[in-house]
Amino acid sequence: MITIPCKLNPYRLAKQSREFSGSIFLSSMQRLNDVYLQDNGSLVHIELKFEYDSENVCVVKGRFDVKLELPCQRCLQKIAFDLSDSFILSPYGLDQKMGKMKYDQVILDVDNIDVNQMIEDEILLCLPYFPTHQNNNYCQIN
């Protein structure tokens, strides 16, 4: 059910003001695989919108929504998290001079955004640093 292409050219899509929505598998994100408890069916729901802002800067506006399970750092039992966030990023090529930092940057792979990697970065930023059961009744170690 991968309904969003994994490589997208932001400049071309911004000219066309394209929007995408769809899902990708959480298990396709390598770095996250080390953190969360495996559940191969979990999907990350994504919305992306490409456009040029009023100063003609190419931007990607996006949002993600995912349910995942992390191990409690006290008792190691699973805790379910609903994570969602929205973001605005500006594509940045390695051959490009660093412009003014109006937005956070997403590094381009040649001319394309690697969608998996971009969303994975955003999810990693949202993960709780030290997940524990908020309610001690659920925690196996009191």
Which residues of the shown chain bind Zn ion in the complex (CB under 5 A)?
72, 74-75, 133, 139
**Cβ contacts of 16-19, under 8 Å, gap ≥ 24:** 16/50, 17/49, 17/50, 17/51, 18/49, 18/50, 19/47, 19/48, 19/49, 19/50
State which amino acid sits at residue 82: D
Least distance from Zn ion to the Cβ atom of residue 132, Å: 6
- At its nearest, how many Å lie between Zn ion and the CB of residue 51? 43
CB of 64 to Zn ion, least distance (A): 26
Closest residue to Zn ion, judged by C-beta, is 72
Name the E strands within the chain: 7-8, 19-25, 43-52, 58-71, 78-92, 104-107, 113-114
4 or 127: CB nearest Zn ion: 127
Q: Provide, rounded to whole angstroms, the least separation between the CB of residue 141 and Zn ion.
A: 6
Please give the Cα distance from 136 to 138 (Å, whole number): 5
Give the SS3 label for residue 63: strand
**Residue (55 or 82) nearer to Zn ion, CB:** 82
For residue 140, the minimal CB distance to Zn ion (Å) is: 6
DSSP-assigned beta bridge partners for residue 49: 19, 61
Kindly tell me which of 56 and 130 has the beta carbon lying closer to Zn ion.
130
Considering the complex, state which of residue 110 and residue 141 has its C-beta at the smaller distance from Zn ion.
141
Q: Which amino acid is at 73?
A: Q
Comparison of 18 and 74: residue with beta carbon closer to Zn ion: 74
